[in-house]
Chain A
């Protein structure tokens, strides 16, 4: 294996991951002391302020996918690929006005499932739970895969060991601290990510001859700079709708909206979207430099860290460069895995265990059930991640799933009523169309097609035999 100046040996790789892991778990234990009841554990006492709110939203959206898939899209699709990934930030920005409405309609809400149960009844709620649980597990799997590949590339840690280690660390501090630990660690992780990405980006800029880079790409990869690059243009709209669907429906974002103070939530989401926008562009630009720098790409899923490692080595940073990349990427992965573990297990506890199965919980029994739910989500994701599938294949296959929920959420939040059956039919057909387009037409059309079908049915539901939505009711009758 070629030895780069930045190469970290296996012992150092394990040392960094374990040191960071111990730090996060210790902080999880410390912050977890505040979580005295289910509301504290799930929603951090509904008292999250501006800095923590914006930081946790940004850090959660800077996932391993941002750091690994954004460079992959840039390598495959060039300029449009970078912009395609960056436009996922519009989802966060548009969630700001939604957050205002969410807090007005469901001031005591716990999960996004509460909203679906009230607006679309038991059938709609069940359909939503299937979609969101499948998607959340898919998202977790992509992050576990990215974590394993990252540690394999940078720290020489075997894929299985690295992937398992990251999952164990995140599971531990999420179990100990709930959303308090997740938001607290997200704040620190977001600072590390921002400083690290800026530092790496500046070094790449200083060590690249922009003229040569342009000439190389124009000569050898001309499609990457074309205005009409078909697959990239499709990816632009597809990713935007994917981002809308992901943010609008997922309990990761709803739980944060509930957790933030009323006036904080919209500002925090809008600010986090603005802060997030340049990150995939910076990460993607690194991948465009692969050819000009003479980096042979063997696994496109690892192009980001591979090029960053090369550049920092050239910059004379030696092992410190490798450590910097590893720490930044480890933080980006942990900040998303913890959020998804917490939010998905909340859905399992509140909506499935208490809601669908009608079980009652006290604050004491809640922690035990929540722990089992976190472990269950983690083990399923870990088992699916063992295969190490291609990241973008796993992620983008779910586009139709999430995009089909965009318009039903908008309708439920802003309209007085609709034809529920038509909306739910639109969701089912949108999901089916999304998968059909993904597998049969073009990879980057799943969210686009699914979102379009669902939108048409939802708009029709406004005009064809609409019924008023029921008045909001208490969100979580089964937890005392």
Chain B
């Protein structure tokens, strides 16, 4: 089901970008989430005997040396959805049991530009408050209409 050394996989765009970076998976995200995939989850779900599935370990590090690595997942799944990542670069790697680590994946989180954000938030506040205000004003104006 999975190679001896698991590797991160993805859709066509993911694989094309990986090829551009000499086989190193690179992902950009604007909301601090990423889905890490290193096998076919459907096969895992279809397997009745869980003990026959290989065990994986997924680690996250602040740099490519993984000197500060933390374990994000240990189990038989071959996908993991990670959320809540702060802005900056994050690195992930996976291995089967005590085998060799995969090529690390670099996930770069860049939230929307702050100027754009505050501009959009100001519009949102203006529209929402104007809407509520217009309804309340309209109700008060017409409440005694027959």
Interface residues of A (CB under 8 A from B): 1-3, 75-78, 90, 94, 97-98, 100-101, 104, 217, 219-224, 226, 229-231, 233-234, 236-238, 240-241, 244, 296-300, 303, 406-407, 410, 413-415, 442-443, 445, 448-449, 451-452, 455
Complex Cα distance A448/B126, Å?
Answer: 10
* B135 adjacent to chain A (CB < 8 Å): yes
Q: Which of A90, A97, A224, A244 contacts B138 (CB 8 A)?
A: A97
Is A78 a contact partner of B84 (Cβ separation < 8 A)?
yes
Is A3 a contact partner of B50 (Cβ separation < 8 A)?
yes
Chain B contributes a number of interface residues (CB within 8 A of A) equal to: 52
Could you say which residues of chain A place their CB within 8 Å of the CB of B121?
233-234, 237
Residue of A with least CB distance to B75: A296
Is A230 a contact partner of B80 (Cβ separation < 8 A)?
no
A-B contact count (CB 8 A): 138
Complex Cα distance A296/B79, Å?
Answer: 8
Is B123 a contact partner of A452 (Cβ separation < 8 A)?
yes
**30-62 of chain B: CB within 8 A of chain A:** 30-33, 35, 41, 44-48, 50, 60
Could you say which residues of chain B place their CB within 8 Å of the CB of A2?
50, 75-76
Could you say which residues of chain A place their CB within 8 Å of the CB of B84?
78, 217, 220-224
Q: Which of A220, A231, A241 contacts B31 (CB 8 A)?
A: A231
Best-surrounded residue of A78, A100, A298, A299 (most CB of chain B within 10 A)? A298
Could you say which residues of chain B place their CB within 8 Å of the CB of A297?
80-81
Interface residues of B (CB under 8 A from A): 30-33, 35, 41, 44-48, 50, 60, 70, 72-73, 75-77, 79-81, 83-86, 109, 111-112, 114, 117, 120-121, 123-128, 130-132, 134-139, 141-143, 145
Complex Cα distance A96/B47, Å?
Answer: 52
Instruction: Identify 5 new A-B residue pairs, CB closer than 8 A, beyond the known A3-B50, A223-B32, A230-B112.
Output: A223-B84, A230-B114, A300-B83, A415-B138, A455-B127
Is A1 a contact partner of B48 (Cβ separation < 8 A)?
yes
Is A442 a contact partner of B139 (Cβ separation < 8 A)?
no
The smallest beta-carbon distance between A388 and chain B, in angstroms, is: 12
Could you say which residues of chain A place their CB within 8 Å of the CB of B114?
230
Given contacts A231-B31, A296-B75, A414-B141, contact A220 B81 (CB under 8 A): no
